[in-house]
Amino acid sequence: MQKTALEPQKGFSFENCERNAALERSLPGLRVPHARKTGTTIAGLVFRDGVILGADTRATNDSIVAYQSCEKIHFIAPKIYGAPDHGKGRGSGGGERGSGAGAVSRRGGTSSPVRSTDRTHSAKRYRGYVGASLIVGGVDFTGPQLYCVHPHGSYSRLPFTAQGSGQDAALAVLEDRFQPNMTLEAAQELLVEAITAGILGDLGSGGSVDACVITGTSAKLLRTLSSPTEPIERSSQYRFAPGTTAVLSETVMPLTLELLEETVQAMDVE
């Protein structure tokens, strides 16, 4: 007697997590993807006529600064925008059933990798687990709304909030100066100061300050409101004579290198 097929269930599929663990046990030399930490500072607050979101623009990959002018505030609906916290992301490592490492799927729905519109950053995943906080703001028929969505799925509705590796410095500014029913000018100035505090207090955050102003009638993205970390030009060239700094010791360590052979084959093109 044939068994009835199981009904598809909603939610993420983590079968590849068990697969990857089994492969690690059976193949000692297997190198699985490692978790990667990135940095960011995102913030948002409710003002008199709507919501304003802000973010820095530095995209990092572990300790490497990949890009200094990426967009971290994304369109969701005409009056709803979101800013993902890439600072708590993880490296790729599997998730979609029957696929290679790095994909995440949902049961009962369309399976596809997690992607972003920006070429330098995306929602991070590690062994199938998505790790990203979100700040979502918008205006509906009840008025301005600002939510903080945590990586495990819970959410909080708040008058102001901040996320990312620079959130402590940003929250310190918001908690000190936030007032209900602020004007747009005051809210924008406070947001810029909060993101700037995160940039100056966190090595993973940097670049300039972007913002998105959402009201009941429109939504406007504002790029490069402030650039607190502009490069400083050297006043002069520094030149030192050889031997100025003494070499106390020198050690030569041989490196074990693997020689790879590469063959290039021409292809006929009509």
pLDDT of 43 higher than 80: yes
Q: What is the pLDDT of residues 200-209, one digit of tens each?
A: 998 889 999 9
CA dist., res. 133 & res. 206, Å (int): 19
3-class DSSP assignment, residue 5: coil
Among residues 72, 41, 44, 53, the alpha carbon closest in space to that of 213 is found at 53
Q: What is the pLDDT of residues 135-156, one digit of tens each?
A: 999 999 999 999 999 877 789 9
pLDDT at 120: 33
pLDDT at 38: 63
Instruction: Give the DSSP H/E element, type plus range, for residue 171.
Output: helix 167-177
The answer to whether 178 touches 161, Cβ cutoff 8 Å, is no
Q: What mean pLDDT is predicted for residues 225-248?
A: 80
40 in catalytic set: yes
Domains of the chain, each with CATH number or no CATH: 41-61+68-226 (3.60.20.10)
Among residues 121, 71, 87, the alpha carbon closest in space to that of 222 is found at 71
The catalytic residue among 4, 38, 40, 263 is 40
